[in-house]
Amino acid sequence: METDNFSIEFFPPKTAEGAEKLRATRDKLALLKPKYFSVTFGAGGSTQQGTLDTVLDIKQAGHVAAPHLSCVGASRESLRAILKQFQSHGIDRVVALRGDLPSGYGGGGEFRYASELVEFIRAETGDWFHIEVAAYPEVHPQARSPQDDLQAFARKVQAGADAAITQYFYNADAYFAFMDQTRKLGLDVPVVAGIMPITNYSQLMRFSEMCGAEIPRWIRLKLASFGDDSASIKAFGLDVVSEMCVRLLNGGAPGLHFYSMNQAAATTALWERLSAAPSAR
Ligand code: FAD
């Protein structure tokens, strides 16, 4: 089973040593031939230069790279300058987000929601960028209701997003239900499933708490039962996540986006497992 719509996410390294390590990771993951690598962006501008540097590094190595861009706390002027910078480097895809300001950050800014950012990018740059936005099959943690969140997604598509990537989840039915709802609203953009490999129990619990991803009870209990046995956690994680990926692809998901955490091993293992799986499509 394979999909050609397969992308990999990195975060910008903070040190020169980290950048060197990321190059090695990227070179390994490039062997899997992803469609593109994306690089996250710290809301409030904390990693702005790091995002651009990492994207340019990836491009220079001959791969397609997409910066993320968040709008919370930003001014129109600062975003205009960033978009111009992206264009001047020939960058033509972007993942457009609201972002989450670090706690203690003052806030302010001229944008409230990602839909406003998508609208702004289209107004400023027309069709230059292929724009991806975020989608939440298990509902964004700050949403007033699932219906409101779906409307927020619809607004991003109506503002000009070409495609979406989901927050990670471990329940394929949440993805399928979300897709049914988007189709009922007449939204037909591809929604690529965001996939977080399972490699570390406490880190997974921490992230999932923050972003509203649910770890099903049976998975949580099983992971907890392995204690410090990292090999068993990884082996079980590989089984669970690869089975979910097969279900997603067989059920019509147009592609997969791997949250690599700047590591090659887990994404490679998943990809190899998927490549060996027979296709039901
Ligand atoms: P929005 O779509 O604006 O939604 C945010 C909240 O506002 C939701 O609860 C929504 O229901 C609500 N809402 C939206 N519009 C309205 C409206 N008009 N009225 C009332 N409520 C509304 N964060 C980063 O800082 N940097 C990154 O690089 C980054 N990359 C990510 C990549 C992916 C694929 C995903 C899934 C998330 C990423 N995030 C990143 C996290 C993201 O910024 C957070 O989840 C953030 O809280 C919401 O961003 P959004 O773009 O989904 O916001």
CATH number for 250? 3.20.20.220
User: What is the per-residue pLDDT for 3?
Assistant: 66
Best residue among 97, 120, 148, 149 to mutate for probing ligand 1, ranked by most atoms within 8 Å of CB: 97
Instruction: Tell me if ipTM is over 0.90.
Output: yes
Question: pLDDT band for position 106 (50/70/90)?
Answer: low
Nearest residue (CA) to ligand 1, atom 13 = 152
Q: Is there an atom of ligand 1 within 6 Å of 51 CB?
A: no
User: Is 233 within a domain?
Assistant: yes
Q: Is there an atom of ligand 1 within 6 Å of 83 CB?
A: no
Contacts of 166 (CB under 8 A, 6+ apart): 134, 135, 136, 137, 175, 178, 191, 192, 193, 194, 257
User: Is 1 within a domain?
Assistant: no
Q: What is the pLDDT of residues 189-222, one digit of tens each?
A: 999 999 999 999 999 999 999 999 999 999 999 9
C-beta separation of 164 from 133 below 8 A? yes
User: Is 16 within a domain?
Assistant: yes
Q: Is there an atom of ligand 1 within 6 Å of 134 CB?
A: yes
User: Is 281 within a domain?
Assistant: no
Q: Is there an atom of ligand 1 within 6 Å of 91 CB?
A: no
Distance CA 163, CA 150 (A): 15
Q: What is the pLDDT of residues 49-70, one digit of tens each?
A: 999 999 999 999 999 999 999 9
User: Is 41 within a domain?
Assistant: yes
Q: Whole-model pTM?
A: 0.97
Distance CA 191, CA 78 (A): 29
Q: Is there an atom of ligand 1 within 6 Å of 115 CB?
A: yes
Sign of CA dihedral 251, 253, 254, 256: negative
User: Is 18 within a domain?
Assistant: yes
Q: How far is the CA of 134 from the centre of ligand 1 (A)?
A: 6
C-beta separation of 38 from 65 below 8 A? yes
Q: Which residue range(s) make up the domain with 114?
A: 6-276
Residue 2 known to be catalytic: no
Nearest CA-CA partner of 139 in 124, 155, 152: 152
The total number of structural domains that make up the chain: 1
Rounded mean pLDDT, 151-177: 98
